Amino acid sequence: MTANSLLKNLLNIKEATVDSFDFDENAQGEPTLVVHVHVRRKDRWRCPVCGRKCNVHDYVCAEAFWRSMDFGPVAVRIGATVPRVTCPEHGVATAAVPWAKPGSRFTTDFAFAAAWMVKGGLSKKKVAEHLRIDWDTVGRLVDLVWHELEPDVKKRFDGLVRIGIDETSYRKGHSYITIVVNHDTNTVVWAHKGHGKEVLDLFFNELTPQQRESLLVVTGDGARWITDSMKQYCPNADRCVDPFHVVEWANDALDSVRLDSWRRARIALLDLQRKAREAKKSKTDGQDGLRSEIKEAKKAVEELKNSKYALGKNEENLTERQRERLSMIQAEDGPLARGHRLKERLKAVFALKDPDLSEEYLDKWIRSAQHCRIAAIVELQRKIRRHRTNILNTIRFGLSNARIEATNNKIKLLLRIAYGFRNIDTMISLVMLFCSSIEIPWPGRMRKTPANKGVK
């Protein structure tokens, strides 16, 4: 095998002919192999948009260079003189080359290697350091790979039946993206900057009337904008409110009750301390009794202050210390103890497998909460009463937003991997590529398909 044939195979540029090669140094003084090539006659010159063979317009451009995958510690660049062509449809543009995408100065193999590393868990900074490129370039290469592997993202809309909708923050300062997950494939089908009805309407407008008609179940939190958008675009679909968010509402209400109890206990403590100071000043009897009461009151204040997690956790996950705090609260049988019992009863509703029995228990819970004389819990039952049908739909279909919450965790991981980026479009490309079933092959290796799955 000649050196030219070896380079063609190593660089995966079989559509080109190697003219020459030489060693050079880059701006950092590192050794660089520069391979000069020209495109074979049958593969040139094509429009970068439609791929049609076109007539040459001019050769005003000097030799251009593309960064290829390294040979060990040696960086590799491919150089070629590429003319501008005249396309009947798209006008004058620089001709496409077979080893790189239009507008990119990196070979397709190089882009796939960068995306493969990012999906493998390497941080954007580490990938940039290893490949000796700018870290913003990593995001652009990931975007290029996504569009290469999935040129028509709307194919994800085919066969949608059960979807989950949620928003997640991607930056401090109330910066959100809205994501839509297909429950049946556990993949993200759509993502967009912002949240609210106007953003979600963009998703429904991208669906065809038949695709909107095929939607049967939509899960999400209790946000009104999800309900309003559903009523407008898919009124026949069943709306489900995720059990996680319903229990979260209950925990928030219970924490409000805990804070009220803590404030009352603290006021009682301050009152005892005032009485103790007055007794000490007047030298009256009963100071020892007050000291004992103050000690007990301080303990109660401290226990209430640190009982948030004990009140919110599942019983099987409680630590010994948290069990003691919970026992102390339940022994008092005050508003906080009653609120905790109601919260646990609400959680038990979702554990029932029989929808009819769940409906009966939920209605009983609503009546109990309505007459509990705890303001935060009464307000909670009003909210649950408004979402009663959607909660029962959740139990009937056995769906939750657990998958979409798991996707949110993946997105948070991507944010840590891509620490420092500022381009929201790049971040959405990361989400769409990595929260899907798309496989990123290492350059030169066989992609896993049903026919070759398991072949190495």
Contact present, 140 and 427 (Cβ < 8 Å): no
pLDDT at 455: 37
* Confidence at residue 157, expressed as pLDDT on a 0 to 100 scale: 92
pLDDT for the residue 454: 40
φ, ψ for residue 100, nearest 5 deg: -150, 160
CA angle 206, 208, 212 (to 5 degrees): 95
Which pLDDT belongs to residue 213? 93
Residue 242: predicted pLDDT: 82
pLDDT of amino acid 29: 77
Residue with tokens 């899907």: 436
Distance CA 423, CA 375 (A): 45
How high is the pLDDT of residue 363? Answer: 94
Q: Closest Cα to residue 419, out of 123, 141, 134?
A: 123
The rounded distance, in Å, linking the Cα atoms of 145 and 434 is 11
**Pairing of the two strands 84-87 and 91-94:** antiparallel
CA gap 379, 241 in Å, rounded: 18
pLDDT, tens digit only, all 456 positions of the chain: 788 888 888 888 888 888 888 888 777 778 889 999 988 888 888 898 888 889 988 887 788 999 999 988 899 999 999 999 999 999 999 999 999 998 899 999 999 999 998 887 777 778 888 898 887 888 889 889 988 888 888 889 998 999 989 888 777 666 788 989 998 888 899 999 888 999 999 999 999 999 999 999 999 888 899 999 999 999 999 999 888 889 899 999 999 999 999 999 899 899 988 888 887 777 665 566 788 888 888 888 888 888 888 898 888 888 888 888 888 888 876 899 999 999 999 999 988 888 899 999 999 999 999 999 999 999 999 999 999 999 999 888 887 766 677 777 777 777 666 554 567 777 888 888 888 888 888 887 755 443 344 433
The answer to whether residues 177 and 194 touch, using CB atoms and an 8 Å cutoff, is yes
